[in-house]
Amino acid sequence: MKKDIHPKDYRLVVYKDISNDYMFLTRSTTKSKETIKWEDGKEYPLIKLEISHTSHPFYTGKMKLVDTAGRVDKFKSRYKKHLEKKTTEE
């Protein structure tokens, strides 16, 4: 392996899955402006995730819709007339 290419500023960071509030503590170099108090009473940087192993369909075996930006609602409102027309024809 090449020397001096990996970061040296690892620290403990809390990652939080915002879809189900699962949190875990690990070492990382990821920067964050937010902090959270962990179970040991100390404050750690907080990194928010949209999906993790506790909410990903591959690991859970369940299909779950994760709509963090309202994409499904935007799609439905955009194609509302088309969808209504299709259901009345059937």
Per-residue pLDDT of the chain (90 residues; tens, 9 = 90+): 788 888 888 999 999 998 888 999 999 999 999 999 999 999 999 999 888 878 766 666 776 555 566 677 777 777 777 767 666 665
DSSP letter (8 states) at residue 4: T
- Please classify residue 13 by burial: count the beta carbons closer than 10 Å to its beta carbon, then call 0-12 exposed, 13-18 middle and 19+ buried: buried
Bridge pairing between strands 22-28 and 43-49: unpaired
Can you give the pLDDT at residue 29?
93
How far is 42 from 50, CA to CA, in rounded Å? 24
φ and ψ at residue 65, rounded to 5 degrees: -85, 120
How far is 59 from 84, CA to CA, in rounded Å? 36
